[in-house]
Amino acid sequence: MRKLLLLFVLFAFALAKETILVSIAPQSFFVQQIARGAVDVVTLVPPGASPATYSLRPSQLVAIKRAKIYLTIGVPFEKAQMERIKSANPALPIVDSTKYIRKVPMQAHHHHAEHNQEHEDLDPHVWLAPNLAIELARTTLEALITLEPTKAEEFLHNYQNLVAKIAAIDAKIYAMILRSKHKAFLVYHPSFGYFARSYGLVQLAIESEGKEPKMQELARLIQKAKKLDIKTIFIEPQFPKRSAKFLAVKLGAKIEVIDPLAPDWDENILKVARAIAGD
Ligand SMILES: [Zn+2]
C-alpha cells in the first residue's frame, strides 16, 4: 500500500512537469544543467544506438505525445524519423539547437556521386567542441524559458553557471593540448572535427563514406598515420572495430574507446581530451 502511494506521488510529481525532447544524450546534459529538475528531459536515441540509423520504438510515442518542445541537433536520425514524430504530436514546436552555430562540411569525408545518407553534407558533431557547446547552452536556455517562463531567472542563473563551467573546461583542454606533443589523432568515425578545429589538431578518420574503408584506403591511411607518428587509434562504441584492429597491428598502435554520445558531457569531453593529448 505504501509502495503504491509512493508510486502515485512520484507519478503525480512527474506529470506536473513539462517534457522536453532531445535527440541524443549529450543534449540532455545541457537541459539538466539549466533546468535542474524543473522539466522532464527525454532522449530519443537510447544509449548504444546510432543517431544515424536509430528508428523510434512505438513505446516512445507516449513521451513524444506528451512533449511540449523538441530540441533538435541535426543528427541524421531526426530527418529519418521526423514524419513519425510530427504525426504523433502535430503541434510540437521543433527548435534547432544549432541555430547560432555555423556548421562546416564533414572533415575526412569524401564526396562522390553515390553519396551516403549518414551525414548529409554538414558535420553534426557540434556538441563535441566546448566553444560550440556554449551556443547549445544558449538555445537550450531559450527553449526552457519558452517552456517555463516563470522560471526564467532561475534558468538564466543556471545557464551562467553552465557557461562558466564549459569555459573552464575549454581552458583546461586548451592547456592540455598546448603541452601535448600529439597534434594529430586517428579515429574510426570523424566525430571530432569541431574539437580538432578548436584546438588546432588534425583529425584522421578510418571510416570512409560511412563504411569500413577499402584496402587501398587503409594503405593510404597507414602512410599518413606513420608520418604523423600516430600510436593510438580511437574507436567509438557505436561503430565497427575490424579496420581499427587491422590498423593497430600495422602501426603498432593501441586502441582506445572514446564515446561521442556519453550523457555526462563535462566528464566525458575531458576524458576525450586527455586521451587525445595522451595526458
Ligand atoms: Zn556521427
Contact 122, 105 (CB under 8 A): yes
How far is CA 120 from each of CA 114, 137, 204, 207, 268, rounded to the nearest angstrom?
A: 12, 24, 19, 15, 26
Phi, psi of 23 (to 5 degrees): -85, -50
Q: How far is the centre of ligand 1, averaged over its atoms, from the C-alpha of 152 (Å)?
A: 33
Domain ranges of the chain: 11-96+127-169, 181-277
Arithmetic mean of pLDDT, 182-186: 95
Q: Smallest Cα–Cα separation from 23: which of 45, 55, 56, 47?
A: 45
Q: How far is the centre of ligand 1, averaged over its atoms, from the C-alpha of 118 (Å)?
A: 8
Residue 169: what pLDDT? 98
H or E element at residue 77: helix 76-88
Q: How far is the centre of ligand 1, averaged over its atoms, from the C-alpha of 5 (Å)?
A: 44
Task: Classify 19 as helix, strand or coil.
Answer: strand
E strand map for 103-224 = 184-187, 202-205
Q: How far is the centre of ligand 1, averaged over its atoms, from the C-alpha of 51 (Å)?
A: 7
Q: How far is the centre of ligand 1, averaged over its atoms, from the C-alpha of 239 (Å)?
A: 10
How far is the C-alpha of 99 from the C-alpha of 102, rounded, in Å?
A: 8
How far is the C-alpha of 266 from the C-alpha of 169, rounded, in Å?
A: 7
Could you confirm whether domain 181-277 is CATH 3.40.50.1980?
yes
Residue 12: what pLDDT? 65
How far is the C-alpha of 36 from the C-alpha of 40, rounded, in Å?
A: 10
Q: What are the pLDDT digits (tens) for 96-145? A: 999 999 999 886 555 444 444 444 579 999 999 999 999 999 999 999 99
Q: How far is the centre of ligand 1, averaged over its atoms, from the C-alpha of 76 (Å)?
A: 9
Interaxial angle between packed helices 130-147 and 25-35, expressed in degrees from 0 to 180 and rounded to the nearest 10: 60
Q: How far is the centre of ligand 1, averaged over its atoms, from the C-alpha of 50 (Å)?
A: 8
Q: How far is the centre of ligand 1, averaged over its atoms, from the C-alpha of 3 (Å)?
A: 43
Arithmetic mean of pLDDT, 223-229: 95
Arithmetic mean of pLDDT, 241-252: 94
Cα-to-chain-centroid distance, residue 21: 15
How far is the C-alpha of 242 from the C-alpha of 265, rounded, in Å?
A: 27
Q: How far is the centre of ligand 1, averaged over its atoms, from the C-alpha of 248 (Å)?
A: 22
* 42, 48, 52, 57 alpha-carbon torsion, rounded to 10°: -50
> In CATH terms, are 11-96+127-169 and 181-277 the same topology?
yes
The one-character DSSP state at 60 is G
Q: What are the pLDDT digits (tens) for 24-52? A: 999 999 999 999 999 999 999 999 899 98
- Average pLDDT value over all residues in the chain: 92
Residue 15: what pLDDT? 58
Q: How far is the centre of ligand 1, averaged over its atoms, from the C-alpha of 122 (Å)?
A: 11
How deeply is 11 buried, as exposed, middle or buried, from its count of CB atoms within 10 A (0-12, 13-18, 19+)? exposed
> Does pTM surpass 0.75?
yes
Q: How far is the centre of ligand 1, averaged over its atoms, from the C-alpha of 206 (Å)?
A: 13
How far is the C-alpha of 132 from the C-alpha of 166, rounded, in Å?
A: 10
Q: How far is the centre of ligand 1, averaged over its atoms, from the C-alpha of 258 (Å)?
A: 13
Q: Smallest Cα–Cα separation from 232: which of 165, 169, 180, 156?
A: 180
What's the fold here for domain 11-96+127-169? Rossmann fold (3.40.50)
Contact 186, 229 (CB under 8 A): no
How far is the C-alpha of 193 from the C-alpha of 279, rounded, in Å?
A: 20
Q: How far is the centre of ligand 1, averaged over its atoms, from the C-alpha of 139 (Å)?
A: 21
How far is the C-alpha of 48 from the C-alpha of 45, rounded, in Å?
A: 8
Q: How far is the centre of ligand 1, averaged over its atoms, from the C-alpha of 242 (Å)?
A: 18
Q: How far is the centre of ligand 1, averaged over its atoms, from the C-alpha of 157 (Å)?
A: 32
In the chain, the percentage of residues whose pLDDT exceeds 90 is 82
E strand map for the chain = 19-22, 40-43, 69-72, 94-96, 184-187, 202-205, 232-235, 254-257
Q: How far is the centre of ligand 1, averaged over its atoms, from the C-alpha of 103 (Å)?
A: 14
